[in-house]
Structure 1
Amino acid sequence: MKKELCIDTVKQLREKYGRLEGSVLHSDRGCQYTSYAFRRELVTNGLIQSLSGTAHCYDNARMESFFATLKKEKLYQIPIYRMKREEVKTVIFRYIFTYYNTQRINSFNEGGLPPVALRTSKQLTHHAA
């Protein structure tokens, strides 16, 4: 991965969401994320960088698990190498927002609930109390 791709992503976030000050960006210690140019882009936009600690691979285990699931359940099942970037982004968006968050059984959550169902049940419980 190249640092330019990461820098472009931060720029796209700023264009899409406007102010980014105070947002936390978590990454591993890859050279693209530790480069001077990328860190300068984060500072320019007021982003706070959160890096995995050296030899502490488990602090990002949940995200690594999610990406492994995304790849196994969706990306490795279709010929993404023949698709345009926008098509792949649409596939990923649909997987996350119409399946993973709303329907897929999640072993990390209480009762195996999908994230949206878990949040909804917690809100209902909180309001009932």
Structure 2
Amino acid sequence: MKKELCIRAFRSACQAYGMILHSDRGSQFTSSAFRKLLAQYGAVQSMSGTGRCYDNARMESFFATLKKEKLYRIRTERIPMTQVKSIVFRYIMTYYNRKRIYTANPGGLPPAMYRQAARGLAA
């Protein structure tokens, strides 16, 4: 993964969400270009501790699932980046969040359904 990809992804996410970014200690995340960008946006950078692979285990697991269930099944190098983004977006928003059984949640509820159920209990 290149630092330019991280920079583009951060700019895109920063417009819609909060200002905390957690990553491992990869060179793309510790590069001066990326750190300057974070400072421009007033973002807080959070990094896993050295040798502490479990700090970001939930996201590592998610990306492994995304690759295994979707990306490794298609020839992403042969289709435009915009189409790959669309495929990933649809996978997350229509399948992963709404239909896929999620063993970390009680009853195996997908994330969106679990949030709805939790809100109902809190009301």
Query: 1:86 deviation in Å?
Result: 0.4
Alpha-carbon displacement from aligned partner over 1:8-37 (angstroms, at most 9, x marks no partner): 3333445x44xx7x6101111001101122
**What is the aligned partner in structure 1 of residue 94 from structure 2?**
98
Residue number among 7, 20, 24 corresponding to 2:20 in the alignment: 24
Q: TM-score if structure 1 supplies the norm length?
A: 0.88
SS of the residue 1:61 aligns to: helix
Question: Partners in 2 of 1:25 and 1:112 — Cα distance?
Answer: 28
**What is the aligned partner in structure 2 of residue 85 from structure 1?**
81
Question: Partners in 2 of 1:8 and 1:70 — Cα distance?
Answer: 20
**What is the aligned partner in structure 2 of residue 118 from structure 1?**
114
Size of the alignment, in residue pairs?
A: 123
Structure ID, larger Rg = 1
Query: Kindly, what percent of the aligned residue pairs are identical?
Result: 55
Question: Partners in 1 of 2:98 and 2:5 — Cα distance?
Answer: 30
Query: 1:3 deviation in Å?
Result: 2.1
User: Which stretch has the larger CA shift, 29-38 or 98-107?
Assistant: 29-38
Question: Partners in 2 of 1:100 and 1:13 — Cα distance?
Answer: 19
Structure 1 gap segments, 5+ residues each? none
**What is the aligned partner in structure 2 of residue 59 from structure 1?**
55
Q: Alignment RMSD, CA only?
A: 1.5
**What is the aligned partner in structure 2 of residue 2 from structure 1?**
2
Query: 1:6 deviation in Å?
Result: 2.1
Question: Partners in 1 of 2:53 and 2:24 — Cα distance?
Answer: 9
Q: TM-score if structure 2 supplies the norm length?
A: 0.92
Task: Write out the 4+ residue segments of structure 1 that deviate beyond 4 Å after TM superposition.
Answer: none
What amino acid is the match of 1:4?
Answer: E
SS of the residue 1:39 aligns to: helix
